[in-house]
Structure 1
Amino acid sequence: MTRVDDLASWHHDWSGLRVAVLGLGVTGFAAVDTLAELGAAVTAVAERVDDERRTILGVLDVPIVDAGRDEVPQALADAELVIASPGLRPDHPWLVAAADRGIPVWGDIELAWRVRDKVRAAEWILITGTNGKTTTTQLTAHMLRAAGLRVAPVGNIGTPVLDAVRDPQGFDVLVVELSSFQLHAMADDGPGALWPHSAACLNIDDDHIDWHGSAAAYRAAKAKVYRNARIAAVYGIDDPATQRMVEEAEVVEGCRAIGFGLGVPGPSDLGLVDGILVDRAFLDDRHRQALELGSLDDLEPGGLRSPHMTRNVLAAAALARAFGAEPAHVRDAIRSFRLDRHRTELIADVGGVRWVDDSKATNPHAAEGSLSAFERVVWIVGGLFKGADVAPLVERHARRIVAAVAIGVERGPVREAFARHAPGIPLVEVDTADTGAVMRLAVEAAAAHAAPGTTVLLAPAAASMDQFEDYAARGDRFAEAVRAQRDRAERDREGGAHGDDDGSRLDH
């Protein structure tokens, strides 16, 4: 056992510990800041460092190894511990170098768990899944806040857990969104292993296969969310894979399996009865009675009424109820909740055509949910598929797709899927390398096929980084193009001129 193995509290002696932090994104910077506060001797290793962070690290007296110019293995030579960015694949040369030297490697989640008692050790609720993680994390925190608890939604949602554990007021509970990358890095046992209050895997579908190496490895990483759960293991009734994860999980004795789904719930489940969200898990006479948590009508103002969003509400309700929130707290929370942008966000309704931004649908499973919510769709699809197969999605939803517009550099999978499963559906390819023109051309093509009663849906089923900074930028460009299209149509009706053509091409 090394000195590192013994470090299981903020109040242990971290002074002088030689730590290399690999990556200076949001989590990496939080790790550097935390370790510097603990008195460790930190070295930051990064390929890119913005000026603001470089200045702050200078104040903290943290040296930076520029991975673009300097020899990284040399930076690891004297390290006693490595903290790795969740985006680094296990076969990344930096991690291979650390393994060759026998240096322990932690993720930011393990570090946060070990030092969670700086102020007061909050309970942790863990949430993962291929899709719906962020919304469910926000909903769970919102429900617990309605119950009067001091709570923070953290992790992959954007706020590092390390920032929350250092908050001077402390929290009652942290609702932690975990990516498959973060789960992969988590310790299975020892002082770094998490012991969460409750945990949920919302759903599972193939994603990030390129990073994990196989679908089995991706699912194994997701399944780690349930390890050591003490009170509740929440899973989707209509997702057999998550049910198997719960059945096979090493949880604390007495931890309950709580299912959620859109049907009538059985005992120990949450579900729907005649448009009412009901709880048959957290009441004494659950074999004969149920508790009302709200109605589908309550979900409408917050944009939560679609089937996949309703599932997220039920999952969040299960986690909140497991922590002690009352039905009234859940009802009040779902009535006041509002979705983040780019999640089935209505941009405009023009002449009976709805334009909806679900740019957050970055894989086929996410697009499945939004496609299922509409009856007649002009679908804008494409981007980086990361090894995922879009063909089954086309096959299942061909009946509701009026036309499709393929964007992105990697359009071949879309073309092949429609040729095989929906050859009669019009498919327009946006063929331009001009990022600024992509969405204008896509919206123009979609408008040509959209009639009253249809929805033009941006649900790309793919990542955005081939042509956009991120999914939010992709959604923003879509919204801008929709509004410009609406304004042009209004000018045309008044006798105005058409917009200029920049020479980019639409291939039919």
Structure 2
Amino acid sequence: MGSGQVTDWQGMHVTVAGLGVSGIPAAKVLHARGAVVTVVNDGDDARAREQAAELEALGITVRLGDGATLPKGTELVVTTPGWKPDKPLFEAARAAGVDIWGDVELAWRLRGPDAAPWLAVTGTNGKTTTVQMLASILTAAGLRTAAVGNIGVSLLDVVLGEQQYDVLAVELSSYQLHWAPSLRAHSAAVLNLAPDHLDWHGSMEAYAADKGRIYEGNRVACVYNAADKATEDLVREADVEEGCRAIGFTLGTPGPSQLGVVDGILVDRAFVENRQQNAQELAEVSDVNPPAPHNIANALAAAALARAFGVPAAAVREGLRNFRPDAHRIAHVADVDAVAYVDDSKATNTHAAQASLAAYESIVWIAGGLAKGATFDELVAKSAERLRGVVLIGQDRALIREALARHAPQVPVVDLDRTDTGAMLAAVQEAQRLAVTGDTVLLAPACASMDMFANYNKRGDAFAQAVGELGAGA
């Protein structure tokens, strides 16, 4: 089907793989354009039947409990991001020469001729914060924009809606990029690369390659992390448009074509006249909320993309000052008896947890949950000197306990053999017992939450509630 726009959907047989947040809108959009749509779904529970009934009322065919077989006559498959590439449905599609698109690819193909350019962000951690910072900066520059994509705002809705935009700040996951072969961003950033979702991608190499797709066809800037060589390697491998530049960001002093930090000032040596000699002040470290090292890196990446789009320095400062981080991202909950309690429930993998642990000097760490195939040796080894104590909860806590025994045997560990939601109060009470004046009790689980909680938000809420009970009892 190539990489051009599809202008005539009338009568085209399209199979949508999966119900849910992106499958249902995709099915409706394609049906409205005259395609013959069949939705296939592995599950057949009450929720799926309810969703199926809604689609069937429109005239869309839905097959529940059978996501493996490719419907006869399929000319295109549109998949939700979570479906693994090795699913039998996709193998059958590839064998039949049928294209497979994700929701992002579909949105890209359906956008109008005057559509807003995309400034795209991916990475193992920090994507959502960076995209929100970027949108705040673009707004401060007077541009009509929105933070969209993997952040929970459907790209399809934005691309097909009536609202006009000058530019979009787009968060893209590795899953979405895997299924978006013709996406071409104005500029893009890969914030960092660490092992994650390897059960889905199959290998670190495949995961990195999917992240690297974000750079393909970039027009102005490929933004990479100077402290993470893997991101720079992806830029080198990308096929970009003539004149597109590699722009690094660093927490140190920037070289030419980089953004970095000098004496507490965020500076730009990339988008200035005579970058060999000149630098432009963008903001102060204190303008970044919170000013933890990994968040300053996020701010520099957001600033680089905004500057690539021509945003003035004053708007970078104003946008960063206006930005407020989401809940459960290194959020200070309370101080109780001169101990700080910090909720970073969003740290659902080891890379995010490491960034969180690096932000504090003396920590009682609450960790554990679903490991998703991760190992914890590197995380524990790098953080050992900061640990006052550790409280472990959740299904895969033994993996962290074993890493602690190997790399931080001197650190006291409380192993709570519980996965009920009430375990969080017990964990916070144990952490309080281990902490001394000046310490930080940090919830940075390095694991997913679904063994105990519906999501990381609920886990963070449970932590905040438990801390509240400590304060009340103090």
The TM tier, using the shorter chain, reads over 0.9
Q: How many residues align?
A: 471
Contact 1:343 1:359 in 2 (8 A): yes
Return the letter of the residue paired with 2:39: A
Q: Of 130, 145, 156, which aligns to 1:151?
A: 145
Among residues 78, 86, 89, which one is paired with 2:84 in the alignment? 89
Matched, 1:62 2:47: no
1:104 & 1:297 partners in 2: Cα distance?
48
Alpha-carbon deviations, 1:43-76, whole Å to 9, x = none? 2222254576445424432232112xxx445562
In the alignment, the residues of structure 1 paired with residue 292 and residue 50 of structure 2 have an alpha-carbon distance, to the nearest angstrom, of: 41
What percentage of aligned pairs have identical amino acids? 51
Tell whether 2:222 aligns with 1:233: yes
* 1:273 and 2:270 aligned: no
Matches within 5 A, 1:400-411: 400-411=386-397
Q: Match of 1:380, as an amino acid?
A: I
Question: Where does residue 298 of structure 1 map in the other structure?
Answer: 287
Could you tell me which residue of structure 2 aligns to residue 417 of structure 1?
403
Could you tell me how far apart the structure 1 residues matched to 2:50 and 2:171 are? 27
Match of 1:495 in 2: none
Contact 2:19 2:48 in 1 (8 A): no
What CA deviation, in whole Å up to 9, does each residue of 1:179-233 have, x standing for no partner? 111112222xxxxx12210011001111111111111111111111111111000
Partners in 1 of 2:53 and 2:136 — Cα distance? 36
CA distance in 2, matches of 1:339, 1:133: 12
C-alpha distance in 2 between matches for 1:50 and 1:290 = 56
Deviations 1:401-432 (A, max 9, x none): 00001111112211111111111111111112
Contact 2:70 2:93 in 1 (8 A): no
What corresponds to 2:5 in structure 1? 8
User: What is residue 13 of structure 2 aligned with on the other side?
Assistant: 18
**Distance in 1 of aligned mates of 2:281 and 2:150:** 31
2: CA distance between counterparts of 1:265 and 1:43? 52
Return the TM-score normalized by structure 2.
0.96
Query: Is this contact kept in 2: 1:7–1:14, CA < 8 A?
Result: no
Q: In the alignment, is the contact (CA less than 8 A) between 2:70 and 2:89 conserved in 1? A: no
Q: Distance in 1 between matches of 2:146 and 2:39?
A: 27
Whole-Å Cα distance in 2 between the matches of residues 321 and 163 of structure 1? 27
Structure 2: distance between partners of 1:77 and 1:440? 54
User: Partner residue of 1:352?
Assistant: 338
| Cα pair distance change 1:285/1:206, threshold 3 Å | same
Letter in 2 for 1:293: L
* Aligned-pair Cα RMSD in Å: 1.7
Output aligned runs, 1:139-288, within 5 Å. 139-187=133-181, 193-288=182-277
Shift of 1:102: 3.4
Tell me whether 1:476 sits opposite 2:474 in the alignment: no
**1:6 and 1:137, CA in 2 relative to 1: closer, same or farther beyond 3 A?**
closer
- Aligned residue runs from structure 1 range 301-340, under 5 A: 302-303=289-290, 305-340=291-326
SS at match of 1:334: helix
Range 96-105 or range 386-395, more displaced? 96-105
Is 1:467 paired with 2:467?
no
TM-score by length of 1: 0.89
CA distance in 1, matches of 2:166, 2:34: 27
Deviations, residues 448-470 of structure 1 (Å, cap 9, x unaligned) = 11121011101011111222211
Asked whether 1:378 is paired with 2:380, we answer: no
Contact persistence 1:270–1:277 (CA under 8 A)? yes
Please report how far the alpha carbon of residue 30 of structure 1 lies from its aligned counterpart in structure 2 after TM superposition.
2.1
Note if contact 1:391-1:413 (Cα within 8 Å) is conserved in structure 2.
no
Contact 1:357–1:459 under 8 Å retained in 2: yes
Quote the residue 1:368 is aligned against: 354
Q: Which residue of 2 aligns with 1:111?
A: 106
Query: Which whole-Å CA distance do the structure 2 matches of 1:297 and 1:282 have between them?
Result: 22
Q: Is the 8 A contact 1:343 1:358 kept in 2?
A: yes
Q: CA deviation at 1:97?
A: 3.4
